[in-house]
Amino acid sequence: MSAPEPIILAEKFASFSDHWNPRIVGRYNGNEIRIAKVEGEFSWHAHADTDELFLVVSGDFGIEFRDGLRKLAPGEMIVVPKGTEHRPVANGECKILMLDREGEPNTGMHPSTYTRTALETL
């Protein structure tokens, strides 16, 4: 087996321009590494059986919970526990990286106009 190639996030982010449409850039142990460009407010949702990790690559990003907003700066991350309602929000365009269970819908158990039935792999 040959050594894996590095994933260059800047190149991956440069390959698309739409918002709230996660792409898969890697997989490990039954999980997907996803990236997205985001802007504005996402829909309220929760993931019933899995946690979700958000890492801010660039921009003014936060996760709104029912008890308030948690703002995150570039280089900061947060893990949303399974079953916790949340809503990502972005003031201007942000680039984020997410870790989700393989095949987990991007809107969890709450379908919305943001739900993607199949994610593109870059």
Asked whether residue 96 is domain-assigned, the answer is yes
Does residue 33 sit within a domain?
Answer: yes
In a domain, 89, yes or no: yes
Q: Which domain holds residue 112?
A: 9-121
Per the domain annotation, does 15 fall within a domain? yes
Q: How high is the pLDDT of residue 93?
A: 97
Is 65 within the bounds of a domain?
yes
**pLDDT confidence band for 1 (50 / 70 / 90):** confident
Contact yes or no for 22/35 (Cβ under 8 A):
yes
Q: What is the pLDDT of residues 57-111, one digit of tens each?
A: 999 999 999 999 999 999 999 999 999 999 999 999 999 999 999 988 777 777 7
Structure tokens at 40: 């504005």
Angle at 86 between CA 33 and CA 68, to 5 degrees: 130
Inform me whether the pLDDT recorded for 55 exceeds 90.
yes
86 closest CA partner among 107, 56, 63: 63
- Residue 44's pLDDT band, with cuts at 50, 70 and 90, is very high
Residue 42 near residue 114 (C-beta atoms within 8 A): yes
**Total structural domains in the chain?**
1
CATH of the domain at 94: 2.60.120.10
Separation CA 122–CA 5 (nearest Å): 13
pLDDT of residue 119: 85
